[in-house]
Each structure stands twice: as C-alpha cells, then as structure tokens.
Amino acid sequence: MGKTTIIDHPLISHKISLLRDERTGTRDFRNIVEEIAALMAYEVFRDLPTENVDIRTPIGDASVPVLSGRKPAIVPILRAGLGMVNGLLSVMPSAKVGHIGLCRDEVTHEPREYYVNMPKHIEERLVILPDPMLATGGSAIHAVDFVKKHGCRGIKFMCIIAAPEGLSALEKAHPDIDIYVGTLDKGLNENAYIVPGLGDAGDRIFGTD
C-alpha cells in the first residue's frame, strides 16, 4: 500500500502563502515553485534505500551510507509540473527527466494527453510525478495510469496544493502509490479550480493568462 503525506512545515507553508498572493509576479512565482519542490524533495526521497561502502576519511577508515536501489526518473505533468523540475534536480542532479503533456478540457475538466516522452527503461526507475495542483485528480490519475502501463511500480506523485476531492480520487484509483502534498485546501469551485488555491499554476509560472 502507498501512503499519503501532507507536509506540514513552516518554510513550505510560508512559501505557499506567497504563491497564493495574486500580487506575486511571474519571476517570483516561478522561483518559489522551484524552492518548494526542493524542500518537498527531502520528504519525497526520505525512504530511498542506502548501502554502506568502505572509504577512507583524512582521519581513518569508515563504512558510510550511499544511495542504492532504483535510480529516479522525474516525470513532470506539463505544463505546470515543469516548474518543479529544477528544484528536484537541485537535490537529485543525476535523475532522468520524462514528460507527460496533459491539459484539462475547460468544460468537462477531463485531461487530454498531447505529448509524452519517457526515458529508456523507465520501468526500472523510481518514478516521481510532480504537478503543483491536484484538483479533480483527473490529470494525476491519467499520468499514473500512463506510467503503470509502461510497467512502472513504486510511483510517487507530489503536488504543492491539493483539493480533498482530487486527493480522495487519486488514493482510490491508485492506492499503491505514495502521494506528497504541500497543503490541503478547502475544495473546488464550479470551474474545478482549487479554493482558495493560487489560480492557474501554468499561467502563473509561464505568464500566459
């Protein structure tokens, strides 16, 4: 079974409050999304396995832990997930990066896939799917379906803000994945936007509203 972690950390909460503020402009918004992704990475990668290797320090011999196990692949959900990639790469620079392009239909709110590109042998990797927003859950569920069809297991989804509706839907559709949430908001409005949320994450990252 997977687990859901709501990350309750003052640094992350403070930065999410800055994102919510409509006065925060594109440059700051983009930088803060990246910073939050890097901070969340500590929790997302907390259970990475390690193995001990023998080295010599300037003082003497030591058996020390290094990362072992499957290598990670970061697969952002385009567009907005792209904003989290550099933050994750800042702590995991050797990760491969894939892409899943999804956009929500404005009326039905169902995701439409428009682009995919996966690293080779993705099924051998630990897959991390970042997307700032989990609203109805449709996009996240579709992305997890996609990587599972490629044989991936041990999948982690991470978002900055989730609506309870989307979180429940994702947990129900994919009970085996780990989910990391920066903060849980009240719910969705009639346009399936998160309330209070931060607006359209992609538009605010790329300045396209």
Asked if residue 42 lies in contact with residue 12, where contact means CB atoms within 8 angstroms, the answer is no
CA geometry: angle at 108 spanning 79 and 75, to 5°?
Answer: 25
Number of Cα atoms under 13 Å in the Cβ half of residue 15: 22
Asked if residue 183 lies in contact with residue 160, where contact means CB atoms within 8 angstroms, the answer is yes
Closest to ligand PRP by CB, 52 or 115: 115
Closest to ligand PRP by CB, 92 or 135: 135
Is 61 labeled as catalytic in the residue annotation? no
Residue 78 interacts with ligand URA (CB under 6 A): yes or no:
no
Is 153 labeled as catalytic in the residue annotation? no
Among 205, 154, 184, 193, smallest CA distance to 5 is for 184
Number of residues that bind ligand PRP (CB under 6 A): 23
Is 26 labeled as catalytic in the residue annotation? no
Site for ligand URA in 120-159 (CB under 6 A): 133, 135
Tell the burial category of 32 from Cβ atoms under 10 Å away from its Cβ (0-12, 13-18, 19+): buried
Residue 72 interacts with ligand PRP (CB under 6 A): yes or no:
no
Residue 36 interacts with ligand URA (CB under 6 A): yes or no:
no
Cα gap 37→46, rounded to integer Å: 14
Point out the catalytic residue in the list 8, 108, 145, 208.
108
Query: DSSP for 45-61?
Result: TTT--EEEEEEE-SS-E
Site for ligand PRP in 125-164 (CB under 6 A): 131-140
Q: Which partner in ligand PRP, ligand URA, none is near 87 (CB below 5 to 8 A by kind)? A: none
Residue 198 interacts with ligand PRP (CB under 6 A): yes or no:
no
b/e per residue, 124-152, with b = 16+ CB within 10 A? ebbbbbbbbbbbbbbbbbbbbebbbeeeb
Candidate list 64, 197, 206, 208; residue touching ligand URA; CB under 6 A: 197
Residue 206 interacts with ligand URA (CB under 6 A): yes or no:
no
CB of 188 to ligand URA, least distance (A): 8
- In the complex, the residues that contact ligand URA under the rule CB under 6 A are 80, 133, 135, 193-194, 197, 200-202
